[in-house]
Structure 1
Amino acid sequence: MKKNKIRIGCGAGFSGDRLDPAVKLVKDGELDYLVLECLAERTIALAQKRKMANPELGYDPLLEARIESLLPLLLEKRTVLISNMGAANPVAAGKKILEIAANMGLKVKVAVVSGDDVVDKLSPEMVVLENGKELSSLGKIISGNAYLGVEAVLPAFQHRPDIIITGRVADPSLFLAPMVHEFGWDLGDYSKLGKGTVVGHLLECAGQLTGGYFAEPVMKPIPGMENLGHPYADIFENGECIISKVEGTGGEISVAIAKEQLLYEVINPFAYLTPDVEADFSSVSFSQLGKNKVSVKGGGGKIKPEKLKVSVGYEAGWLGEGEISYAGVYAKERGKLAGEIINKRIGELFDELKVDLIGINSLHSQISDEDSLPYEVRLRIAGKSKEKHLAERLGHEVEALYTNGPAGGGGARKYITQLVGIVSILLDREKIKSQVHLFEN
């Protein structure tokens, strides 16, 4: 029987998000669904590297900790978990959840959505959206993951699972799928799909909607941030919703915060592209219904795109980093001189070299001699190179400033990282075939 209202909470907005807000949502939020949104472009490329090193890995690093803390509550409250924690290896993630459940003496049914991995469908002549060049101009390709939509997730509900695990599914689609399932929305009703996408887009970053990204202590103070609650939405069959949070948690639900989140990562609010719909955010309206309650109305959509975005990861060389601090009189000048020394010695060896005095020019790239003199600065130098030995040398050069000057350097550290580059291409959706695998004990 179709429902006329469902409640969906978001317990994670990225892979490294806190564990406790999700537990609180399931325990006290009276949810129908909990969504954990744990993927970004670089996240899944790094997951592919872990899978290449070990075929049994490639899912989210915090999957085990999240499932162990949530599973008993999910089953007790009959809350269905939907998450893209499967990352580069959703099937292995499903098997791992079954293993965790068995160790905890619990019965669980897990539906796994796969098919987003399309690296075998990439070809060298495909055009990169960001720069118009061909894929062949990049380094070694390590991943290619298409953004799946609602159509890939809907078959999973037929199995009445306790948990749905996916790989790369578009963020708002994780929230839209249960709406389509519960309300029986037609996949050609782009107006409702657009409204549901608005809700999903608002919820997908979790604590951002309760003030985490909004907060600024002078102009925009938010209460109780040490106990920031994550949001949930009561969603109605017509696509409207009311956003709130669990009583007693920190943070705030307000019109101002919701407006900021609506425009987060949106280039064109008249045409926000997802695998499901070309959503129109221009007619969305908010109203404050009371403390920590905001009504969301409006929005719409047009026909869905013919092609799907594919996030492509490739080996992009090496990053060498070195840091050292200077304190006391003329700290800024000594730090500036240290950066100039390194640049003159090895700057021309790197594809790109960045010299930052943290707290002065690391974000805005300008040093003004008219600025008040800081008592201390931290110099950071980072260089990109295709050669590992050059990346290693950068850190050694910074460390050598200890005795080679300028005076008073201390706290030197050095790092080296293999870089993963990310670009996007478009792929015909007919070439992408999703599947659902069922695991239960």
Structure 2
Amino acid sequence: MVSHSRWSEMGNRPVRVANVSGFHGDPSEEMYRQATMGDVDFITGDYLAEVNIAGNAEAYANNHHPGWEATAWEGIQQTIEVIAEKKIKLAINGGALNPQGLAEMTANLVKEKGLDLNVCFVSGDNLLDVLGPTMPMTLDELPPHLDGANKEVKHNPATLAFLEKRMKIASSNAYLGARGIVTAFEQGADIVICGRCSDASPVIAAAWYWHSWSATDYDALAGSLVAGHLIECSAYVTGGNFAGFDKYDLTDLIRPGFPIAEIEHDGSCVITKHENTGGMVNVDTVRCQLLYELQGNVYLHGDSKAYLDDVAVEQVGKDRVHVHGIRGAPPPPTTKWAIFYHGGFECQILLNAAGYATEKKWDLIEMQFRSLLGKAGLEALEAIEFQRIGVPAPNPQSQNSSTTYLRVFAEAREKASLERVMVALKDISLRHFSGFHSSLDWRTAVPRPFIAYYPSIYKQDDINERVTFIGKDGELTDSFSVGHPPKYDELEERASYDTASIVEFSSSTRQIRLGDIALARSGDKGSNLNFGIFVQTKKQWDWLRSFMSRDQMRKLLGTDARDEYFIERVEFPKIHAVHFVIYGILGRGVSSSTRLDGFGKGFADFIRDVVVEVPEEIL
């Protein structure tokens, strides 16, 4: 067990970093559980999905929202005394739009309870004044797109829709690295409240400070970046969102415990969790999370690049997985810049049909909608899609198993343009197809405003990042400039290749679902979707890397494939994994994607359900 005099042990053992949140909806009590169920040195939390800040920006500007995430504050209230008693340090990005406000609330709580804790906040991520208050209307004014350097990428036509009309910016934030949090710890902070630092930055900062790394210890920094990536999504590495869940007792997955990273001086780590918590940590849960939302074989961050080509994972005990083999390099000169703007209005209508002649039913209803909207009505819409969801069961045993639905999804600049879609549905009235019915809830059919996303890059040297401490009486006291990385590496061309040597198998084949032999994880990177798939044995790996080419990935997409989708592919041989990035498949991405699975999380299980030919000898 770790003693409460842990700070005398700094650098002499692995640092234990416990994550308590993967987004703002995670239960606030997980902070208290992580602090009390065993000994940890640092508590970290990621509360920000990409759209969180934008979603609350207007309410915050109008004094209708505090700007920070409520579950972050609730967790602090529940845990503050334990943090003080056990001398745990806390770093979270739950400050969101208002890290100063949450830091002031926390400092006041510290004073009320008579605790000896130093509270500060990190600023510099908010770039609203750089472009604002509206999106540019010319390409010359527009900052570069995040994928702009890749000439193979063809952007969705809606990506630059704002050039036609000035659209109000909702939020504009640079992704900060770990340097500000490290500066805070070095100046005596116990609690560090951040806004839009990157998801892994609090974990990197904990290891950086504990092991007294320099800013040029790139291998160690890159290793801790991967550790942060593994635990930043809370239960995603302990059994949540796990492709292999069906092979385990479901009662053990009702409430998976949250993860802990034990990070060594060289940046390698062991991923684990507290004893007597649900879920599991094994090489499969870790590989799934490792492959989640990657950019390819190079993970970019404000403090380092992490090269993942030789990453390895090994089971070293019950609920303990060792992760190593990451190589680091200096960071790129730019960081991610998330720009969200008011994109207009959207609505969806969900219509049901029982099985007989379903395809003809959907053909008819789409023709009716288009006819009633007319040319002018259709041209007033930025998007209208008639998405057919599901396939009726053959020889159905119940009406529900026979039923599928049509998702009519539309976007427009003006609310009135979308209201015509509802009028069209009304005008169809009793002229509908046989057996037409719908959900009782029509609220989604009412046009509502949506936030659109433009991902860009921003020069790190232009960021004015500062750490500011809150005094005992709530006043702002010491403030420190964070500075910038000492060295940069320019962004290289992204790797993309099919396997170097195809392996031929002589045995007969069997038709199976791909998921019967492989596990996978998928997710979103803005408008792009990432997909990683892996197998268990060397023979299976030889087959997977030979089979899963870029052309094969396009075939597996089926009717979802589009010529404009550029596909990147890399391999991670030590974990038997192939990784893809499919550019543009999520449209504008995030809150403005028109896809039913707008964040790409279900894509992996769709691909795993496809039937493929597999050699008998590897089964």
Larger radius of gyration: 2
1:123-272 correspondence runs (5 A): 124-130=141-147, 137=163, 139-218=167-246, 224-269=252-297, 271-272=298-299
Quote the offset at 1:277 in angstroms: 0.6
1:359-374 correspondence runs (5 A): 359-360=390-391, 374=401
Question: Does residue 3 of structure 1 match 2:11?
Answer: yes
Q: What is the distance in 2 between the residues matched to 1:20 and 1:26?
A: 10
Cα contact 1:319–1:391 (8 A) shared by 2 = yes
Cα contact 1:324–1:412 (8 A) shared by 2 = no
Q: 1:340 to 1:69 in 2, by over 3 A?
A: farther
Letter in 2 for 1:386: R
Cα contact 2:343–2:449 (8 A) shared by 1 = yes
Quote the offset at 1:210 in angstroms: 0.5
Quote the offset at 1:23 in angstroms: 2.6
Cα contact 1:323–1:398 (8 A) shared by 2 = no
Q: 1:370 to 1:225 in 2, by over 3 A?
A: closer
Question: Does residue 17 of structure 1 match 2:26?
Answer: yes
Quote the offset at 1:252 in angstroms: 0.9
Quote the offset at 1:12 in angstroms: 0.9
Letter in 2 for 1:275: G
Question: Does residue 433 of structure 1 match 2:464?
Answer: yes
Q: Secondary structure at the match of 1:200?
A: helix
1:4-153 correspondence runs (5 A): 4=12, 5-54=14-63, 57-100=66-109, 108-122=117-131, 124-130=141-147, 137=163, 139-153=167-181
Residue by residue, what CA displacement relative to the aligned partner does 1:92-151 show, whole Å, maximum 9, x if unpaired?
A: 221233455566676653210011012222372322234688797273322221111122
Question: Does residue 405 of structure 1 match 2:432?
Answer: yes
User: Could you tell me the percent identity over the aligned residues?
Assistant: 27
1:241-390 correspondence runs (5 A): 241-269=269-297, 271-326=298-353, 334=361, 337-346=364-373, 348=378, 349-360=380-391, 374-390=401-417
Q: What is the distance in 2 between the residues matched to 1:239 and 1:158?
A: 19
Q: What is the distance in 2 between the residues matched to 1:71 and 1:397?
A: 56
Cα contact 2:223–2:269 (8 A) shared by 1 = no
Q: 1:103 to 1:214 in 2, by over 3 A?
A: same
Partner of 2:443: 414
Q: 1:96 to 1:354 in 2, by over 3 A?
A: farther
Letter in 2 for 1:414: R
Quote the offset at 1:359 in angstroms: 3.3
Letter in 2 for 1:6: V
Gaps of 5+ in 1: 361-368
Q: What is the distance in 2 between the residues matched to 1:413 and 1:399?
A: 13
**Residues matched between the structures, number:** 432
More displaced stretch, 103-112 vs 327-336: 327-336
Cα contact 1:118–1:144 (8 A) shared by 2 = yes
Q: What is the distance in 2 between the residues matched to 1:136 and 1:213?
A: 35
Q: What is the distance in 1 between the residues matched to 2:240 and 2:393?
A: 34
Cα contact 1:126–1:135 (8 A) shared by 2 = no
Q: What is the distance in 1 between the residues matched to 2:175 and 2:210?
A: 22
Letter in 1 for 2:144: V
Q: Secondary structure at the match of 2:200?
A: helix
Q: What is the distance in 1 between the residues matched to 2:308 and 2:366?
A: 46
Q: Secondary structure at the match of 1:126?
A: coil
Cα contact 1:127–1:135 (8 A) shared by 2 = no
TM-score (norm 1): 0.88
Q: 1:378 to 1:246 in 2, by over 3 A?
A: same
Letter in 1 for 2:214: D
Q: 1:71 to 1:379 in 2, by over 3 A?
A: farther
Q: Secondary structure at the match of 1:208?
A: helix
TM-score (norm 2): 0.64
Cα contact 2:48–2:96 (8 A) shared by 1 = yes
Q: What is the distance in 2 between the residues matched to 1:235 and 1:324?
A: 51
Q: What is the distance in 1 between the residues matched to 2:317 and 2:175?
A: 37
Task: Choose the corresponding residue for 2:455, options 424, 429, 438.
Answer: 424
Partner of 1:366: none
Q: 1:376 to 1:382 in 2, by over 3 A?
A: same
Structure scoring higher RCO (CA < 8 A, sep ≥ 6) equals: 1
Cα contact 1:321–1:394 (8 A) shared by 2 = no
Q: Secondary structure at the match of 1:227?
A: coil
Letter in 1 for 2:464: K
Quote the offset at 1:55 in angstroms: 8.0
Q: 1:134 to 1:320 in 2, by over 3 A?
A: closer
Q: What is the distance in 2 between the residues matched to 1:143 and 1:382?
A: 25
Q: Secondary structure at the match of 2:241?
A: coil
Q: Secondary structure at the match of 2:387?
A: strand
What RMSD in Å do the two structures reach over aligned CA positions? 2.9
Quote the offset at 1:433 in angstroms: 0.7
Residue by residue, what CA displacement relative to the aligned partner does 1:21-54 show, whole Å, maximum 9, x if unpaired?
A: 3332111131111111111221222232332222
Q: What is the distance in 2 between the residues matched to 1:423 and 1:291?
A: 43
Letter in 2 for 1:359: G
Q: What is the distance in 1 between the residues matched to 2:420 and 2:212?
A: 60
Q: Secondary structure at the match of 1:354?
A: strand
Gaps of 5+ in 2: 1-7, 150-158, 473-619
Quote the offset at 1:398 in angstroms: 4.3
More displaced stretch, 228-237 vs 137-146: 137-146
Q: 1:80 to 1:370 in 2, by over 3 A?
A: closer
Quote the offset at 1:77 in angstroms: 2.8
Cα contact 2:345–2:411 (8 A) shared by 1 = yes
Cα contact 1:94–1:110 (8 A) shared by 2 = yes
Cα contact 1:242–1:295 (8 A) shared by 2 = yes
Residue by residue, what CA displacement relative to the aligned partner does 1:361-382 show, whole Å, maximum 9, x if unpaired?
A: xxxxxxxx89666432344321
Q: 1:305 to 1:217 in 2, by over 3 A?
A: closer
Quote the offset at 1:273 in angstroms: 0.9
